[in-house]
Amino acid sequence: MNAAKPEQPDRAYHHGDLQRAIVNAAIDVLRETQSTEFSLRELARRAGVSHNAPYKHFADKRELLGAVSAAGFDQLADRMSDAGGGHSNPRTRLTAMARSHVRHGIENPALYRLMFGGLLGVAGDGRPTIEMAAAEKLRTLIEGAVIDGALGSPVPRNRRNTSKIDSAVLSYWSQIHGLTLLLIDRLVGPSARSDNLAVRAVNTMIDGLAAGIPALPSDVWVGPRIL
């Protein structure tokens, strides 16, 4: 009888590196399989650590997926920031960010669905805080372009304008998120036209709001809610 195979020892990760290694392994699996139906044991194997190693950082799979989604939001925010960073004109900046947003979704459909879908939502509990904190970066980028004048003129950040800024962010998010999902699901295409379609969507939104940004009702909130 063969002797039992000894458990694979953990690599000598620095603090935080093991957590990142597990998250990166999950992102790789998502990209390859387009499914969240993987086990923490599989991620440990890919990362080259013992099967119990993921539980040193994640209590369960939902907590891990929250960290994966947060990493996806960080990636998207970085892409949008890089795309818009070279444009002093706020309208051009917003359209550049929109193009990068759509590309991110098309290139990472399963990750995008995890980020914006309902898998991590739990009634009475809300979405993971780590995910919502990362998602807030997107709102800040969009809001910044609106405040700087992407809709034709600056919208000063003050209490009176809060509802109008939220309304503009909602309009952008609705247009671009909807377009991204339509392209992912191949209800609109081809995906090679995503840049052009994103620019058209943003310009349509801007032209529609140029005459004035309607304020949202006082009980409507836009963006991540960290409970």
The predicted structure's pLDDT at residue 41: 86
Chain segment 100-156, per-residue pLDDT in tens: 999 999 999 999 999 988 777 765 567 778 888 888 899 999 999 999 999 888 988
The predicted structure's pLDDT at residue 135: 86
Q: What is the DSSP string of 11-30?
A: P-PPTTHHHHHHHHHHHHHH
Could you tell me how many residues make up the chain? 227
Most confident of 19-23, 34-38, 60-64, 98-102: 98-102
- Half-sphere exposure of residue 195: CA atoms within 13 angstroms, side-chain side: 4
80, two tokens: 């949008």
7 in Cβ contact with 51 (< 8 Å)? yes
Instruction: Identify the helix (H) or strand (E) that includes residue 221.
Output: none
Measured distance CA(31)–CA(79) in Å, rounded: 18
Amino acid at 196: N
Chain segment 70-91, per-residue pLDDT in tens: 999 999 999 999 999 989 999 9
Q: Give the pLDDT band (50/70/90) at residue 1.
A: very low
Average pLDDT over the chain, rounded to an integer: 85
Residue with tokens 């387009």: 34
The predicted structure's pLDDT at residue 16: 56
The predicted structure's pLDDT at residue 28: 92
In percent, how much of the chain has pLDDT > 70? 89
Predicted TM-score (pTM) of the model is: 0.84
115 in Cβ contact with 135 (< 8 Å)? yes
Measured distance CA(55)–CA(205) in Å, rounded: 45
Q: Alpha carbon 120 to chain centroid distance?
A: 13
Its sign, for the CA torsion 150, 151, 155, 159, is: negative
Measured distance CA(179)–CA(185) in Å, rounded: 10
100 in Cβ contact with 79 (< 8 Å)? yes
Cα–Cα–Cα angle for 102, 108, 114, nearest 5°? 100
140, two tokens: 């800040």
Measured distance CA(142)–CA(118) in Å, rounded: 22
Of residues 127 and 43, more confidently modeled: 43
The predicted structure's pLDDT at residue 5: 46
Q: Which of 143, 196, 141 is nearest to 165 (CA)?
A: 143
